[in-house]
Amino acid sequence: MNPLPPEGKLRISVVVVNWNRRELLRECLDSLSNQTVGPVDICVVDNGSTDGSQELITGSYPQVRLIRNPDNRGFCAANNQGIFSSAGELVALLNNDARAQPDWLEHLAAAFARPDVGMAASKILVAERPHLIDKVGHLIWPDGQNRGRGTGETDHGQYNKVEEVAWPDGCAAMYRKSMLDEIGGLDEDLFAYADDAELGLRARMAGWRCLYMPQAVVYHHRGATLGVASGRRLKLIERNRVLLAVKLFPVSLLWLNPFYYGLRVLAGAWAAWRGEGETKHYAGWSGKLTMVTALIQGDLEALAMMPRMWAKRKEIERFRKLSPAQIRQLLRQYRIPLRVLSRQAN
C-alpha cells in the first residue's frame, strides 16, 4: 500500500487535549515533531492546566497552535474545539499520554485512499510494556460496553494486516474531516470515555468504514488522566455505555439491554472471584465499595440524561444509511466475547 493517497498529499491536522500532564505532553509533542509527513498542523487544547503545560508549549513548541480553556471542559468538548478549528482534510487525535512512531501519520493517512473510509485505527501498545497490546480497534458488548480489540494480548504479529474494524480508539485515531462535518464531532454530553465508540458507531450508521493500519504504532501510558482505579472514571464509563445505547441502538436491541447487562455483571462477578477483570484495580472491601458506588452513580446520571439522548436519535436520521437490521448485524460482527470482556481490565 502506498504511504499516502495516490491523488496527492492530504493536509493533516493533529489535535492533542491536555490537562496537567506536562512531562507526558512533552513526550507526545516530541513524537509529533518528528513525523515523516508534513506540513502538519498541531493543535493542543489545554483544559486549564496549572502545572506549566501552557508555558512549555509557548516556550518550546512555537509551531504548535495552542487553545487555552480557563477550566476543564472535558475530552469531548476540547477535541471538538481542535477538530473544527483545523484546516486539514484529515484530523488525527492523539492522547497527551501517548507517543507516536515517526511514520504514524503517514500510515494512517494511507487508509483514506478509499473514498468510503472515514476513520483509521492505530496499533496502540502499552508504553511501559511495549510487547503488550493496548488496543487495535474496538469491540462492543450488546449492553453498550465497548472494549479494545486485543487488549492485554502479547503482540506477536497476530494483528499485523490491514483490515476493516468497527472503529478506532480515540487515543490515536484519524478521521476524514468531511465526515465529521457531516455527522458532527464527539458528543460533548459524554465529557470523556465511550466518546470514541459513540462517534465510531454513528459514523458507521452513516455508511462510513474504518481501516486498521498496523504499521501506525503508538505507545500509550494507560490510565494516566484519572487513574485506572478512579471511581469517577468508572462512573463515566458506566454512564456513557448506557447513553450510547439509548442514542444509537435499534429499539429491538435496546429493550434487551438489561438482559445483556445482567449477563456481563454475572460474568464479571465470576471473574472477580478468580482475581481477574476490572475488579483487580479496586483492592479490598473499600475498593469494591468504590466500584459499586461508581456504577450506581453512573446509572443514576444516565437515567437523568436519557431524555436528552433519546431526542438526539432524530438528529441522526438526517444522515443515517444503515437500517436497524444492518446496525444489529454490525454490532454482532464486532461483538466482544463475554469471556474475554469479563477478564479484561478497561
Q: pLDDT tens digits, residue range 10-60? A: 899 999 999 999 999 999 999 999 999 976 899 999 999 999 999 999 999
Any alpha helices (H) in 187-283, and if so which ranges? 195-205, 231-248, 251-254, 257-273
273 or 179, higher pLDDT: 179
Q: What is the pLDDT of residue 289?
A: 85
Joined together, the cell numbers standing for residue 152 give 492485554
Report yes or no: 46 and 53 within 8 Å, Cβ to Cβ: yes
| Least confident window among 41-55, 133-147, 244-258, 274-288 | 274-288
pLDDT tens per residue across span 272-312: 776 676 665 666 667 778 888 999 999 999 999 999 999 99
- The mean pLDDT value of the chain amounts to 91
Joined together, the cell numbers standing for residue 234 give 468508572
Report yes or no: 32 and 12 within 8 Å, Cβ to Cβ: no
Give me the mean pLDDT over the 206-212 stretch.
98
pLDDT for 5 beyond 50:
no
- Length of the chain (residues): 346
Burial of residue 286, with CB atoms counted within 10 A of its CB: 0-12 exposed, 13-18 middle, 19 or more buried:
exposed
Concatenating the DSSP letter of every residue in 117-186 gives: EEEEEEEEEESSSTTBEEESSEEE-TTS-EEETTTT-B-SSTT-S-EE-S---TTEEEEEHHHHHHH-S-
Q: How far apart are CA 38 and CA 70, in angstroms?
A: 31
Backbone angles phi, psi at 99, to 5 degrees: -125, 140
10 or 230, higher pLDDT: 10
Q: How far apart are CA 189 and CA 186, in angstroms?
A: 9
Residue ranges of domains in the chain, CATH in brackets: 12-220 (3.90.550.10), 231-343 (no CATH)
271 or 226, higher pLDDT: 271
Joined together, the cell numbers standing for residue 70 give 480557563
Query: Which amino acid appears at position 12 of this protein?
Result: I
Give me the mean pLDDT over the 246-258 stretch.
96
174 or 284, higher pLDDT: 174
Report yes or no: 256 and 250 within 8 Å, Cβ to Cβ: no
Q: How far apart are CA 204 and CA 338, in angstroms?
A: 23
Q: What is the pLDDT of residue 345?
A: 59
Q: How far apart are CA 124 and CA 133, in angstroms?
A: 6
Q: What is the pLDDT of residue 99?
A: 97
Q: What is the pLDDT of residue 298?
A: 95
Q: How far apart are CA 131 and CA 307, in angstroms?
A: 44
Grid-cell match 439491554, residue found: 257
